[in-house]
Structure 1
């Protein structure tokens, strides 16, 4: 594929919109996970007493559900990404691929 066709693809509004939405989604989910994880690490480093304290006077401390919560959050964020990618980004991707195929077929007819 020559440079003019590549530039047509890169300038395609549907392609640009797909890249923009995917970037926003990826960065948003990344920031959420980083804030939660770094917050937990700061809690471990600066307020260990809280994590060692019992939830209700038993043997379970606050660190256990918070640590498990981070693991569950990672699965939830994966699910959110998959849901949005399948329902919002895939249609944009299909439209962009359709237009790219039309551009590449133009080259064959010239």
Structure 2
């Protein structure tokens, strides 16, 4: 990446050395990996049930029901994914953006 700004390398080094930047990258990474692990574990568990106990998903919700257990479980997995995404977006828009703005302000000073 080339730039016309002569201090670009110095500014990047200054940002990387900032303790708030290091904290930001650590927190963002931890949250992203944690949420990814939760989603993967849930999806993998569902696929394992489909592979090894598919009859369990065909059980009716209650006696006389035409709705099987698989439907609400599938909906719950989708809702969980949406909620975790919303949590990440909220955290990024509040805590991470505020920390990024602070880092930029410290770099310009």
TM-score, normalization: structure 1? 0.85
Q: Structure 2: how far apart are the matches of 1:37 and 1:15? A: 33
Residues 78 and 47 (structure 1 numbering): CA distance in 2 closer, same or farther, change over 3 Å? same
- What is the alpha-carbon root mean square deviation over aligned residues? 1.3
Matched length: 102
Query: Which one of 18, 22, 26 corresponds to residue 28 of structure 2?
Result: 22
Indicate yes or no: 2:103 matched with 1:91: no
Query: Which one of 47, 53, 57 corresponds to residue 47 of structure 1?
Result: 53
Unaligned ranges ≥5, structure 2: 1-6
Unaligned ranges ≥5, structure 1: 103-110
Residues 93 and 2 (structure 1 numbering): CA distance in 2 closer, same or farther, change over 3 Å? closer
- Larger helix share, 1 or 2: 1
